[in-house]
Amino acid sequence: MKPTLFNIGSFNVSSYYFMGMVGLVLGIFFALWETKRKGLDMRLSINGIFWVTVMGYIGARAMHIVFDGFLEIYLQKPLAMIAFWRGGLAFYGTIIFGLPTVVWFFRYHKAPLLKYLDIYTYGLALGVGIGRLGCYLNGCCFGDISSSSIATRFIRYGLSAKNQFVRDIILDLRHDPYPVFPSQMISFYANLLIFLFLWVFVRKRYKKDGTIFGLWMILYGIFRFFIEIFRADERGLFFNNLISSSQIIAIISVVVGIAVVLLPNESSLENSGSK
């Protein structure tokens, strides 16, 4: 656990935010690579990336504040709401705000929406995985107490220690917290595998636009639903603590992903409409 990755003078560079930026940069790289390979409009793709990035950050921050159980704290310090570089981003907020932005943007420009959704998905799949490395270094998004061989013990006064202190599992923050299930690293490897599956095995084989995006929604949604079972951090629980906000959205993601995969190709719709 290393919440501060390095310092530039008196400025502390957050591990969480740094890894998030690495994921964003690599995501943009893969999106532009695919834009060029597919022969799509590079300028339009760059503009789309800009708007989805802006709205994605706003959505991730809003989701964290409203649904992760921190709204009352932020209302006491409203200016802290905009300090997203200090951490506190909920990934599904990126989808909730970013997806409508992408749909509106490419529909407005009368561009093939599903084609652009597919090329953006590679970067999304890789970026969210790399972002989980930032979670691991920051000590957030941790799992519940575990005695398994892969369990991780985070530092004193860290987020997992504070969680165990509040739950009366440890009686003093000066004590070492119990090891926890490394849900962050499991998420990193799972998302990396999803990215590699889409990039290596599906990318040059699929024929129907929207397949990459739909498959990612299905695979990530299924994984996210199950990894949530092993998490212990505060993230918003509903129905008598039976299900988390992320699990609810994961179910919706799977349903939407299946619908997108089953949609007819955009080119087929255009051809039928021109008859």
- pLDDT attached to residue 275: 43
**Contact in structure between 127 and 199 (CB atoms under 8 Å):** no
Q: Rg of the chain over CA atoms, in angstroms?
A: 20
- pLDDT attached to residue 235: 65
DSSP-derived secondary structure letter, 3: S
For residue 255, give every residue at least 6 positions away whose Cβ sits within 8 Å of its Cβ, in sequence order, or none: none
- Tokens 């690495």 belong to 22
Nearest-angstrom CA–CA distance, 127 and 97: 17
**Closest to 35 measured CA to CA, from 122, 121, 119:** 119
- pLDDT attached to residue 153: 83
Q: What is the pLDDT along the chain (275 residues), one digit of tens a residue?
A: 677 766 777 777 777 788 888 888 998 999 999 999 989 999 999 999 999 988 888 887 777 777 666 666 666 666 656 665 555 677 777 888 888 999 999 999 999 999 999 999 998 899 889 988 888 888 777 888 888 888 888 777 777 778 778 777 888 778 888 888 889 899 999 999 999 999 999 988 888 899 999 999 999 999 999 998 888 777 666 666 678 878 888 999 999 999 999 887 765 545 444 44
**Closest to 94 measured CA to CA, from 83, 86, 84, 80:** 84
Domain boundaries, the chain: 14-144+181-262
Nearest-angstrom CA–CA distance, 174 and 31: 46
